[in-house]
Structure 1
Amino acid sequence: MSEIFKFCDPMMILADYKSPESHKHLASHIIISLGGKMEWQIENKNIKCRGICIASNVVHTGRIDENGAIIFLFTEISRYTASIKKKYLNGNSYCIINDNVVDSIVKKYIEHLNDKETLDTILLRQCRIDNSDEGRYEERIEKVLDYISGLKTIEHSIVEDLSNHIYVSKGRLSHLFKEQTGMTLHSYLAFEKLRKTYKYFCEGRSITDACILAGFDSSSHCASTCKRMFGISLRDVYKTIKE
């Protein structure tokens, strides 16, 4: 059964699926096998490896080892994204990760499995990537990100609220956000609602209450958004959380 370790930056999953449908996400991946080689199909190429980095919006499917795999998901807004692109992708759709790095990650995973709060940072350090990408955006976009982060609920009026907050039109706001971050404002808002839903669920609220409080119209709306963005069912997110 898959386990969600974190739903933030980055999202970390211990996955045991064997052959997902061909799909793409609004997030880059780092996938590390906990056993033997994985088989991936990326842009009509068949790849066998123990570790791989896949860029966002790249169609792929694959089969992992029976021992499962560690999966990290990074949105374009992630503090790790610049480091990933520089270290691994360099404009390419994917990059095979060296077996020595995979061995180091698996070793640290076994050693620190119970360190829930720091496990992701420990493992990513073995990948030689970091989240030191500070000061990436101009002041208005930084204000937008801070405003969204501080909200308890993302209301339907959020785009208008944000445009008023930084004194630009809604059209200009959407253009500026995409230009600066590489991610549409609506996609980022959807991700933030998912993140807030996860947070509220972990605090003890029911799935439905957590979804509504975050800003979704219903739990089914949340479920479809989760599936569309990450190829992960809402059941996987909330019924398999690693406590």
Structure 2
Amino acid sequence: MTTICVMIDHIFLDTEYRQPNIHQHLAKHIIISQSGNLSVMFDEGETLECKGIIIDSNVAHTVASEENKMLIFLIDDTSALAKNLSQRQLLEDSFFVMDNLAVEQIQEVYTTCHAEGLPQSYIDFSKQVFRLLNLSCHISSITDSRIQWALNHILKSTHIDNCNHTTYI
């Protein structure tokens, strides 16, 4: 089952993610394994094992983990959050391997927030994650009720796919 939380500058997925073919996106990624290591492969054939990774946008990659359970943040490349990732972690590199201690702390925060009911505690969870990654950003939210309604309507549609979609804006 996949849970999706949508914010104005990023999308969060708690997912049992099957390893796709090598692909690339117009979004930066923060990917954290929920158990064990991630196995990350890049287009150039480079592979690495880690618990958490930040990948720049337009970088061809694929990621797998034990039991395929991952926490994934897809960050809008035009956002202040993406700019912070570029300035603080990526520093002109195509990826950044996260410190194991930070990953373990994020996993603990996630476990606590998930037990409290993730959709309601998502903003607190994401703020803690970004703080642990030394990202100084303000979490934006959509205040126009018409846009909130439209996004929630789309994400709750049973015609899109069979994932459990949760929106917290």
| 2:109 paired residue number | 108
Structure 2 residue corresponding to 1:235, chosen from 152, 155, 161:
161
- Runs of 4 or more above 4 Å deviation: 149-153
Q: Sequence identity of aligned pairs in percent?
A: 24
Within 2, Cα distance between the matches of 1:196 and 1:61?
A: 33
| 2:24 paired residue number | 24
Where do 1:51-66 residues align within 5 Å? 51-66=52-67
Within 2, Cα distance between the matches of 1:121 and 1:72?
A: 12
How far the C-alpha of 1:79 sits from its partner, in A, is: 2.0
Q: Is the 8 A contact 1:16 1:64 kept in 2?
A: no
Within 2, Cα distance between the matches of 1:87 and 1:97?
A: 12
Question: Helix, strand or coil for the counterpart of 1:122?
Answer: helix
What's the TM-score once normalised by structure 2's chain length?
0.80
The letter of the residue matching 1:50 is K
| 2:41 paired residue number | 41
Within 2, Cα distance between the matches of 1:6 and 1:51?
A: 21
Bigger fraction of residues in helix: 1
1:93-122 per-position Cα deviation (integer Å, ceiling 9, x unaligned): 111001011011111111122213432222
Q: Is the 8 A contact 1:7 1:198 kept in 2?
A: no
Q: Is the 8 A contact 1:29 1:74 kept in 2?
A: yes
| 1:198 paired residue number | 151
Instruction: Point out the more displaced range, 118-127 or 25-34.
Output: 118-127
Q: Is the 8 A contact 1:105 1:127 kept in 2?
A: no
Decide which structure has the larger Cα Rg and report it: 1
1:192-228 per-position Cα deviation (integer Å, ceiling 9, x unaligned): xxx98533335x6x467xxxxxxxxxxxxxxxxxxxx
Within 2, Cα distance between the matches of 1:37 and 1:5?
A: 24
Within 2, Cα distance between the matches of 1:199 and 1:242?
A: 8
Q: Is the 8 A contact 1:112 1:119 kept in 2?
A: yes
The count of corresponding residues between Structure 1 and Structure 2 is 159
Q: Is the 8 A contact 1:19 1:63 kept in 2?
A: yes
Structure 2 residue corresponding to 1:126, chosen from 96, 116, 132:
132
The letter of the residue matching 1:6 is V
The letter of the residue matching 1:18 is R
Unaligned runs of 5+ in 1: 133-148, 154-194, 209-233
What's the TM-score once normalised by structure 1's chain length?
0.58
How far the C-alpha of 1:50 sits from its partner, in A, is: 0.4
How far the C-alpha of 1:152 sits from its partner, in A, is: 5.6
Within 2, Cα distance between the matches of 1:90 and 1:72?
A: 19
Q: Is the 8 A contact 2:18 2:68 kept in 1?
A: no
Where do 1:158-237 residues align within 5 Å? 198-201=151-154, 206=157, 234-235=160-161
Evaluate the alpha carbon distance shift between residue 57 and residue 197 of structure 1 in structure 2; reply closer, same or farther with a 3 A threshold.
Answer: farther
Within 2, Cα distance between the matches of 1:33 and 1:74?
A: 17
Q: RMSD of the TM alignment (CA)?
A: 2.8
Evaluate the alpha carbon distance shift between residue 241 and residue 151 of structure 1 in structure 2; reply closer, same or farther with a 3 A threshold.
Answer: closer
